[in-house]
């Protein structure tokens, strides 16, 4: 069943000519007129009430169809989650940084929703995974403590905010003291008066503009200047010295567990998450910042940037699966090579959503259906789908999301 999906327009999104979201949403929304000045940031595929998908032919909400056809989800999903789709599938197109943020675990989400329902509007957790479609920049998790300390000692403007005495404490003798000393250090930064942060940032920006190229590279000057141009005076600009800066190449992924600090910076990706919109923000954003909550919930574990990449496993010659350690979702990346005439999707015992990112195909149905770039399908559990490739001179690329049970 082909879906008509909704897009979200946020200030950080890419405008129509550059946005993969814009080019993918057009087939499922043929009446949509793209506005060159509108940022097309996210394409939502699923049943979340802020952007629900509809069956294209019947104009029926997907969640209504699922309620009326519970068996389409599969028995394992019904037993674990009931008659609902527990994940939200997305495409993102990012031109400038999203906020430094984290997502709560289930118990924290329930508590936040109860205490601040206008800010945290549901009680679900939000583990998520991003798979790059283009070179994709992000901040993810705390750097190794030695890297953080090197930056603090090399950047007087940052050490002036954190405090020399607190920096000296970053020589832990155990993992427990490591976490506590890093927590104290990061809290000192995030709790500093905005005027002091803005003043020190301005001094640093002026200073790095005249440094030699080697020193500029050492201090990530170009990245700092880019973030500062979009968010002048924002404490999140200093986040690049605390968090791993990574670039994913197309097909590479990262998984974000609850309470892991992160910020997407640029690029396009496939994203899948538990069906929630809970975000705790603390920087690089004009939106509400809940620094107190973020500092209380943060995971202060330090790892190298290479450890943040999430590896798939191969299911067959065309399909690799990204299976995170949560039951809410898994995602496959399906690549049909040039010259191959057809491919049968691996049958799933659970319902799934499939999006075609590149290529054109005909699927076995009655009557046969032609799918183009941007076509989105809901596939009921145990359905067998054979794809006949109609343009075999380039690889056909698809992503499929389903419940990880």
Domain residue ranges in the chain:
3-61+88-140+247-293, 148-240, 313-402
Residue whose tokens read 């974000």: 256
> 3-61+88-140+247-293 and 148-240 share one CATH topology?
no
Strand order in the sheet with 386-389: 342-344, 386-389, 361-363, 369-371
Written as six digits, the tokens of 229 are 């141009």
Our answer to whether residue 281 is catalytic in this structure is yes
| Class in CATH terms, 3-61+88-140+247-293 | mainly beta
Average pLDDT over residues 240-259: 96
Which of 110-124, 127-141, 193-207 is predicted with the least confidence, judged by mean pLDDT? Answer: 110-124
> What is 313-402's CATH superfamily?
Jelly Rolls (2.60.120.10)
> What's the sign of the alpha-carbon dihedral 112, 242, 236, 192?
positive
Nearest to 146 by CA among 302, 308, 358, 370: 302
Q: Express each pLDDT in 94-117 by its tens digit.
A: 999 999 999 999 999 999 999 999
- pTM score, two decimals? 0.94
Q: How many CB atoms lie within 10 A of CB 89?
A: 28
Task: State the pLDDT at residue 250.
Answer: 97
Please state which of the ranges 149-158, 257-266, 332-341, 386-395 shows the lowest mean pLDDT. 386-395
Terminal-to-terminal C-alpha distance of the chain: 22
- The fold for domain 148-240 equals Phosphomannose Isomerase; domain 2 (1.10.441)
Q: What is the mean pLDDT of residues 154-171?
A: 91
pLDDT score recorded for residue 173: 60
Mean pLDDT of 69-85: 96
Write the pLDDT tens digit of every residue in 218-231.
999 999 999 999 99
Candidates 281, 333, 348, 373; catalytic one: 281
- The CA–CA distances, whole Å, from 273 to 246, 278, 378 equal 20, 11, 17
């Amino acid at each position: 069943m082909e879906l008509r999906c909704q897009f979200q327009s946020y200030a950080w999104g890419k405008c129509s000519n550059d946005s993969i979201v814009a080019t993918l949403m057009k087939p499922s929304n043929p009446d949509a007129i793209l506005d060159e000045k509108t940022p097309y940031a996210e394409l939502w595929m699923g049943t979340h009430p802020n952007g629900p998908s509809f069956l294209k032919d019947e104009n029926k909400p997907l969640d209504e169809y699922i309620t009326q056809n519970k068996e389409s989800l599969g028995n394992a999903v019904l037993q674990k989650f009931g008659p609902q789709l527990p994940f939200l599938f997305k495409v993102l197109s990012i031109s400038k940084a999203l906020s430094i943020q984290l997502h709560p675990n289930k118990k924290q989400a329930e508590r936040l929703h109860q205490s601040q329902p206008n800010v945290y509007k549901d009680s679900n957790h939000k583990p998520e995974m991003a798979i790059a479609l283009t070179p994709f920049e992000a901040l993810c998790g705390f750097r190794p403590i030695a890297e953080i300390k090197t930056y603090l000692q090399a950047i007087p403007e940052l050490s002036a905010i954190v405090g020399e005495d607190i920096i000296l404490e970053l020589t832990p003798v155990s993992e427990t003291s490591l976490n506590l000393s890093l927590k104290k250090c990061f809290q000192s930064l995030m709790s500093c008066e905005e005027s002091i942060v803005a003043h020190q940032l301005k001094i640093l920006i002026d200073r790095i503009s005249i440094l030699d190229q080697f020193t500029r590279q050492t201090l990530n000057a170009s990245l700092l200047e880019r973030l500062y141009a979009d968010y002048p005076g924002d404490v999140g600009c200093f986040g690049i010295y605390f968090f791993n800066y990574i670039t994913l190449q197309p097909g590479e992924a990262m998984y974000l567990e609850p309470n892991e600090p992160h910020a997407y910076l640029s690029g396009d990706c496939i994203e899948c998450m538990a069906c929630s919109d809970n975000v705790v923000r603390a920087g690089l954003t004009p939106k509400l910042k809940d620094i107190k909550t973020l500092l209380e919930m943060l995971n202060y574990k330090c790892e190298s940037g290479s450890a943040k990449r999430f590896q798939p496993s191969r299911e067959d010659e065309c399909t690799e699966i990204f299976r995170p350690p949560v039951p809410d979702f898994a995602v496959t990346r399906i690549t049909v090579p040039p010259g191959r005439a057809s491919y049968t999707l691996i049958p799933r015992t659970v319902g799934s959503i499939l999006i075609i990112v590149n290529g054109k195909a005909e699927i076995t149905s009655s009557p046969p259906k032609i799918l183009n770039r941007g076509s989105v399908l809901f596939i009921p559990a145990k359905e067998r789908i054979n794809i006949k490739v109609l343009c075999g001179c380039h690889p056909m690329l698809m992503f499929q999301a389903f419940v990880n049970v």
